[in-house]
Amino acid sequence: MNIKNILGGALCLALFASCGDELDYREFSNYNKDYVFKNFDNTVGFVTNIYSYLDYDYGMIDGGMQASACDEAEYAWKSSQVNYFTNGSLSSKNTPSLFGYYAPIREANYFLAHYPECDFSDYKFNKDYKNQMVRFNRLPYEVRFLRAYYYALLVKYYGAVPFTTEVLTEAQANALGRTPAQDVMTFVVKECDEILNHLPASYAGLTDDAAAGETGRVTKLAVLALKARTLLYAASPLFGAETAERYHQAALAAKAVIDSCAAYGVSLGKYAELWGTDNWKAKEVIMARRIGDLNDLERRNYPMGVENGNSGNCPTQTLVDAYEMRATGKLWNEAGSGYDPEKPYEGRDPRFAMTIAVNGEKNWPSYNAAALETYYGGSNGEPKVGATPTGYYLKKLLDGTVNISSVNGNSKRHSWVAYRLGEFYLNYAEAMFKYSRSADAVTPDLPMSAREAVNVIRSRADVNMPALPTGLSADDFWKKYQNERMVELAFEGHRYNDIRRWREGASHKDIVEMKITKKADGTLAYTRHTVSRIWDDKLYFWPISNSEMMKHTGSGFTQNPGY
């Protein structure tokens, strides 16, 4: 799919219906405008299809997560496209493309252009007519959110992008130039402000709405979350000059998320609840993208040596080093940390064991009774083809109860968390620090300091890490903040983009692997191995593929610099 998907014309729809407590998928068929906009179910199905493009990263780049395109992870299979981002091969000829997001944008524009023509008068004597009309009258606001959401995604990866809110002909679409990123983000924020009060905080308590009880649809909290994240990106140096007022607005928007979550019963729960079959029910989840029952994520990332396990996105020692010692709150190489090089994984931040599988670990996955052997020559280690190059395997996001063996195989529900409260405490901390230039400062409209916001995250029930102290210098706090963000949001699709929006690509390009060997006496030796990766400032944005470049006649449609 490409930008021509914003064209008008016949509709090819993957129709979805609202059913039970979630969005229910149906087969796709061709329908004309009259069919879609004269039937409640088909109209709702058209909108729900726009939801079906919501992003998630279970291996979006040829099996590789974005984590493997930065210092969080290393993809075990060198042939994957994700390695283009670290080995210098990324180009307009060798690049994944996200221009498929113009398909839902085109459908959103089409819906918003035609929904006023909807005529449901034939149904006015149905007993559910009133409730269906309440739902119908809310759909345009859901669609406006989704359109803004997809534009925000495109800007995040490409910077300036083609932009329209109209249904265009093919010639008009191909003549579009690229609208500056700040202008697109301004549009996103404006849309959020305009639709906010037209959407419920939850569908659970609705009584006069055909969507009562549904989950997965856009809420008031999701709108606030999109606005807050967009403003933080807009304030970042990747998208122009940093200003105090941009960070001020980003901090206020993050505060609005935090305050609204408190008002509507969304609160921090246990870290371990953020993935697994029922993660969409976790206390802090604002919006989750339902994916369905699957085991592909586990097949791609369970350890090599476990039946049908294929290794995949392997956490780096760089990430491991970010997990502080629980007793002291210090990094492994800080004086007085309590780190024991003979027992390198003991006494760490509890989030470490929830995220990363290490040598000697048992019951990963849960049905695997054998201890993992990630040392050289071990059953899960090199030189076995595809074994972890870093010494570690991924646990976070994976469901350890998913069995991929040939005899007892199963699949479990997976849901990608698009927005959760924990992110917005961190977003607030960053924006507040950048605005005030202090870890401890507060203002009348921002009464929580950056340090206090970080400490809320560190004090969650199953983490309980030592609080950051008062009086940290600006440099020390920024390092602590970046480290906390890397740990808390690991493998959730943030680190890759954070490094880029901070314009710190060169500082974080290399990774460290842990090479483990077994000595003659049976003890283990741990050796750090630094891998130098290639960085070029062009990598701050993705290249537009040659196939897309060739389609566009507009003089303003230019390639990103360096490609």
pLDDT recorded at residue 32: 67
**Domain region containing 459:** 219-291+411-488
Q: Is 76 helix (H, G, I), strand (E, B) or coil?
A: coil
Asked if the structure places residue 388 within a domain, the reply is no
Asked if the structure places residue 140 within a domain, the reply is no
pLDDT recorded at residue 38: 83
Q: How many Å apart are CA 339 and CA 41, to the nearest integer?
A: 60
Apex CA 54: angle with CA 402 and CA 151, to 5°?
150
Angle, helices 102-114 vs 129-158, to 10°: value is 140
102 neighbors 3 (Cβ within 8 angstroms): yes
Extract the tokens encoding 560.
Answer: 């990103």
pLDDT recorded at residue 524: 97
Asked if the structure places residue 158 within a domain, the reply is no
Q: What is the dihedral of CA 421, 423, 424, 430, to 10 degrees?
A: 160
Q: How many Å apart are CA 447 and CA 431, to the nearest integer?
A: 13
Extract the tokens encoding 137.
Answer: 């009258």
Asked if the structure places residue 199 within a domain, the reply is no
pTM of the model: 0.94
Asked if the structure places residue 83 within a domain, the reply is no
Q: How many Å apart are CA 62 and CA 78, to the nearest integer?
A: 11
Extract the tokens encoding 194.
Answer: 């305009």
CATH number at residue 226: 1.25.40.900
Which residues, given as ranges, of the chain have pLDDT below 50?
1-30
**How many domains are there within the chain?**
1
CB contact burial 524-550 (16+ within 10 A = b; e otherwise): eebeeeebebebeebbbbbbbbeebee
Q: Is 123 helix (H, G, I), strand (E, B) or coil?
A: helix
CB contact burial 437-472 (16+ within 10 A = b; e otherwise): ebbbeeeeebebbbbbbbbbbbebeebebbebeeeb
Q: How many Å apart are CA 463 and CA 455, to the nearest integer?
A: 11
SS (H, E, C) 132-172: HHHHHHHHHHHHHHHHHHHHHHHHHHHCCECCCCCCECHHH
DSSP 461: T
Each residue of 300-312: pLDDT tens digit? 999 999 999 999 9
pLDDT recorded at residue 8: 39
Asked if the structure places residue 276 within a domain, the reply is yes
